[in-house]
């Protein structure tokens, strides 16, 4: 029989002398449902399954469970261009590994057909093809986030997000605490005048860094300079730093710190002998340096893994909203040293 055609649950039921409903329960039922089937009946069905080598049709099983075992992934910025590679690649790796471990496929949503601005709820969106969706991006569309929170479609944000008409499920990094730890380390090395190069927010990840930095200052340290922008000319930034009297500069963007180091080197200055530099941001622009900057490690892969596992639990068990922040470990680096008196 097995050699002539694919076995069905009906065939298994006939061989075991039970109803097809009983076979379905043995294959797909919950523990509570299985308790209603006598032990010897369950064992008889399971023996037939083993003896015949029966494998359940995966599509049929998905229909029984009401899921397609597909997780969507939506990014507000393009995930694959080289300019974003360092930022998104670890997230995508973590998502892929956990989805595979959970026996789910992945579907990348691009917000097709809406021009240059990506939107989750574009006309004709295909969100419901997936059982749930992971949402990534430096900044979310607040109106779409509110729509997700108000709806019944399971989703999880990768990165902390403010409540949007209700709590947002997320797994993020604790950037505020990681930044505070580095400011405290600078203080212990004798730094009293600090500079901050980058905006205060609107994105939550940027706002969290500013929060950790500003709270660590308190009445012990001075903010001698704040340049609320990224990608400013390196020479102008260096001039402003030297004029301000700051002995340690905290950069949101690694690329800005790299270019500042090059500008300092051209003037015969070195890090950290003449100026300490700490990077509290991420690799958004693809610039490289042989210098290991003092910073903190963002656990992107682990954030993505845990967010994917959380989404599966929300899909399968309707798990209530959780909000998790993972620690960011300090990176010793070479660019934070004892404070030096300026000549």
Read off the DSSP letter of residue 293.
Answer: -
Domain ranges of the chain: 9-59, 70-173+300-328, 175-297
Question: Token pair of 176, please?
Answer: 């505020």
Mean pLDDT, to the nearest integer, of 42-53? 85
Q: 137-151, 294-308, 321-335: which range is least confident on average?
A: 137-151
159 compared with 80, residue with greater pLDDT:
159
pLDDT of residue 112: 56
Instruction: Please report which confidence band the pLDDT of residue 115 belongs to, taking 50, 70 and 90 as the band edges.
Output: low
Q: 123-137, 143-157, 235-249, 322-336: which range is least confident on average?
A: 123-137
pLDDT of residue 204: 94
- 9-59: which CATH topology? 434 Repressor (Amino-terminal Domain) (1.10.260)
Is the domain spanning 175-297 CATH 3.40.50.2300? The answer is: yes
Say whether pLDDT at 3 is over 50: no
Say whether pLDDT at 63 is over 60: no
CATH number at 70-173+300-328: 3.40.50.2300
257 compared with 7, residue with greater pLDDT:
257
Average pLDDT over the chain reads 87
Say whether pLDDT at 140 is over 70: yes
Rounded to the nearest 10 degrees, the angle between the axes of helix 82-101 and helix 300-317 is: 40
Instruction: Please report which confidence band the pLDDT of residue 329 belongs to, taking 50, 70 and 90 as the band edges.
Output: very high
115 compared with 24, residue with greater pLDDT:
24
Instruction: Please report which confidence band the pLDDT of residue 56 belongs to, taking 50, 70 and 90 as the band edges.
Output: low
Say whether pLDDT at 10 is over 90: no
Read off the DSSP letter of residue 53.
Answer: T
What percentage of the chain has pLDDT greater than the value 70? 86
Read off the DSSP letter of residue 271.
Answer: T
Instruction: Please report which confidence band the pLDDT of residue 308 belongs to, taking 50, 70 and 90 as the band edges.
Output: very high
Mean pLDDT, to the nearest integer, of 45-55? 80
pLDDT of residue 1: 44
Q: List, in sequence order, the alpha helices (H) in the chain.
A: 9-16, 20-28, 31-34, 39-52, 58-65, 82-101, 142-150, 175-188, 204-217, 234-244, 254-266, 300-317
The two domains 70-173+300-328 and 175-297 share their CATH topology (first three levels equal): yes
């Amino acid at each position: 029989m097995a050699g002539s055609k694919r076995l069905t649950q009906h065939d298994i039921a006939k061989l075991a002398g039970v109803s097809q409903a009983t076979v379905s329960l043995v294959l797909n039922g919950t523990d509570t449902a299985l308790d209603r089937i006598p032990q010897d009946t369950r064992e008889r069905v399971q023996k037939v399954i083993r003896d015949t080598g029966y494998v359940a049709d995966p599509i049929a099983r998905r229909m029984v469970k009401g899921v397609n075992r597909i997780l969507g992934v939506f990014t507000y910025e393009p995930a694959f261009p080289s300019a974003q590679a360092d930022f998104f690649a670890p997230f995508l790796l973590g998502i892929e590994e956990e989805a595979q471990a959970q026996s789910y496929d992945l579907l990348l949503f691009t917000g097709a057909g809406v021009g240059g601005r990506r939107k989750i709820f574009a006309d004709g969106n295909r969100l419901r093809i997936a059982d749930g969706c992971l949402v990534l991006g430096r900044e979310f569309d607040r109106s779409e986030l509110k729509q997700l929170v108000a709806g019944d479609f399971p989703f999880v944000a990768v990165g902390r997000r403010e409540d949007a008409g209700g709590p947002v499920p997320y797994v993020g990094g604790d950037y505020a605490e990681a930044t505070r730890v580095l400011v405290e380390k600078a203080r212990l090395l004798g730094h009293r005048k600090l500079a901050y190069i980058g905006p205060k927010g609107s994105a939550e990840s940027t706002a969290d860094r500013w929060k950790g930095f500003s709270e660590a200052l308190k009445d012990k340290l001075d903010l001698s300079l704040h340049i609320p922008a990224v990608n400013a000319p390196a020479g102008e930034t260096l001039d402003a730093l030297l004029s301000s009297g700051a002995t340690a500069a905290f950069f949101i963007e690694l690329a800005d710190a790299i270019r500042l180091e090059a500008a300092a080197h051209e003037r015969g200055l070195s890090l950290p002998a003449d100026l300490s530099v700490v990077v509290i941001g991420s690799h958004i622009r693809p610039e490289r340096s042989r210098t290991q900057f003092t910073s903190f490690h963002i656990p992107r892969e682990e954030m993505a893994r845990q967010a994917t596992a959380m989404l599966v639990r929300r899909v399968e068990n309707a798990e209530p909203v959780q909000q998790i922040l993972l620690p960011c470990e300090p990176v010793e680096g070479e660019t934070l040293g004892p404070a030096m008196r300026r000549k």
